[in-house]
Amino acid sequence: MAKPRTFSGIQPSGELHLGNYLGAIKNWVADQEHYENFFCIVDQHAVTVPQDPKLLRERTRSLFALYLACGLKLEYCVLFVQSHVPAHTELAWLFATITPMNWAERMIQYKEKKEKQGEETSVGLFSYPILQAADILLYQPKYVPVGEDQRQHIELCRDIARRFNDRFGQTFVIPEAFIRPQGARIMSLTDGTRKMSKSDPSEFSRIHLLDSPDAIRKKIQKAKTDSIRGITFDDPARPEAHNLLTIYMLTSGKSKEEVAAECAGMGWAQFKPLLADSIIATLEPIQKRYQELWSEPGYLHELMRENAAKARAVAEQTLQKVRDAMGFLSLEGSLT
């Protein structure tokens, strides 16, 4: 029996951090053999805010190497770069014509980013979730594994797919967001109420996957805490304690109960080095594989090319169905 498909993507808009790993990639890796996976580097999303072309190229390559270094295997996954598959932007245009403005205006991520961009807010940023819907629907996946912050975008994607099917006939599988309760939202090290994010101006708010052990120790040492005795999960008054324990749980592989029992009586001075060690041990093998891959640019380039061809073949099939359903005149086949 064919395995169910999954699709997900990450923007090459900054260095990958522990939130991206624990909230997304680690789960993709753990489940990969049960699915036929498509994981995309969504570079066309990364240009919806001001960006540096040289950095974009470097981060795109780096993210491709990191996907592999984190353990995604090409026997289970197609790993590719969005701009290498032109079907994404074509389908996004077609979807833009059937998406009401007010559906896009409701998107929380857009509203937040618009605050930051002010007068510079681009039309591209506004239509970003429509491009995301196109990314997903081209591959007809059953599941879209993402963090909690993406739930609203996946809902929009489902609405667009339903509307298309209603208007032009059954064309798309309606995908489902696949969000894990634990680790779905890793918070900033400097503010336990905000998510760890690539775009936070403070480096100390996040741990990058390629941070040195020294940098990791320093960041954990400086991480915000509180002055309550003992370290406990689930106390709304202690978001930092909950977040650091969650990171410890996910990097050590221990259960919530084990971590709660181990850390309940600890002070921060005892817990922080333990947490830093656990993070360092998790990232060490990833960094080693990354360095190996990075030293072979020709090999990486070839893998990128092969995978883009695989993605293109699938995407082009869906896009052709869409063009036909919408009534675009084809140059192939008979003239009737």
Confirm if 37 and 25 have CB atoms less than 8 A apart: no
Burial bucket for residue 117 (CB in 10 Å: 0-12, 13-18, 19+): middle
- DSSP notation for 205-248: G--BTT--HHHHHHHHHHS---S-SS--SS-TT-HHHHHHHHHH
Check binding of 219 to ligand ATP (CB under 6 A): no
Q: Which does 141 bind (CB under 5 to 8 A by kind): ligand ATP, ligand LTN, none?
A: none
Catalytic status, residue 224: no
Would you say 104 or 266 has its CB closer to ligand LTN? 104
Residue 158 CA to residue 179 CA, distance in Å, equals 15
When asked if residue 129 is in the footprint of ligand ATP (CB under 6 A), the reply is no
Given 26, 111, 113, 256, the catalytic residue = 113
26, 73, 116, 198: the active-site residue: 198
**CB-nearer residue toward ligand LTN: 135 or 211:** 135
Residues 15/210, Cβ–Cβ less than 8 Å: yes
Among 45, 195, 198, 219, binds ligand LTN (CB under 6 A): 45
Q: Which of 27, 37, 60, 150 binds ligand LTN (CB under 6 A)?
A: 150
Cα–Cα distance measured from residue 18 to residue 287, given in angstroms and rounded to the nearest whole number:
13
DSSP letter, residue 25: I
Q: Exposed (0-12), middle (13-18) or buried (19+): which is 76, by Cβ within 10 Å?
A: middle
How many angstroms separate the CA atoms of 139 and 141, rounded? Answer: 6
Among 6, 13, 27, 82, binds ligand ATP (CB under 6 A): 13
User: Which residue type does 244 have?
Assistant: L
**Binding to ligand LTN in span 25-44, by CB under 6 A:** 42
Q: Which residues of 298-309 are buried (b: 16+ CB within 10 A; e: fewer)?
A: eebeebbeebbe
Helix, strand, coil in percent for the chain, rounding step 5: 60, 10, 35
Smallest separation, CB 205 to ligand ATP (Å): 10
Site string for ligand LTN, 3-22 (x = CB under 6 A): ----xxx-x-----------
Q: Which of ligand ATP, ligand LTN, none interacts with 16 (beta carbon under 5 to 8 A by kind)?
A: none
Active site residue 113: yes
How far is Cα 25 from Cα 23, in angstroms, rounded to an integer? 7
- Site pattern 178..217 for ligand ATP (x: CB under 6 A): ------xxx--------xxxxx------------------
- When asked if residue 195 is in the footprint of ligand LTN (CB under 6 A), the reply is no
Task: Give every CB contact of residue 108 below 8 A, 6+ residues apart in sequence.
Answer: 152
Piece in contact with ligand LTN (CB under 6 A), picked from 1-9, 69-77, 99-107, 158-166:
1-9
- If one asks whether residue 210 binds ligand LTN (CB under 6 A), the answer comes out as no
Residues 144-163 contacting ligand ATP, CB under 6 A: 146-147, 149-150
* Chosen from ligand LTN, ligand ATP, none, partner binding at 84 (C-beta under 5 to 8 Å by type): none
Chain-centroid distance of CA 192 in Å reads 20
Q: What is the CA radius of gyration of the chain?
A: 21
Dist. CA 114–CA 127, nearest whole Å: 12
Compute the C-alpha angle 271/272/276, nearest 5°: 120
Residue 40 C-beta: closest distance to ligand ATP, Å: 11
Q: Is residue 153 at the binding interface for ligand LTN, with CB under 6 A as the rule?
A: yes
Pick one of ligand ATP, ligand LTN, none as the site partner of residue 135 (Cβ within 5 to 8 A by kind). Answer: ligand LTN
Residues interacting with ligand LTN, by CB under 6 A? 7-9, 11, 42, 45, 132, 135-136, 144, 146, 150, 153
Residues interacting with ligand ATP, by CB under 6 A? 10-11, 13, 19-20, 23-24, 146-147, 149-150, 184-186, 195-199
Which residues are designated catalytic? 113, 195, 198
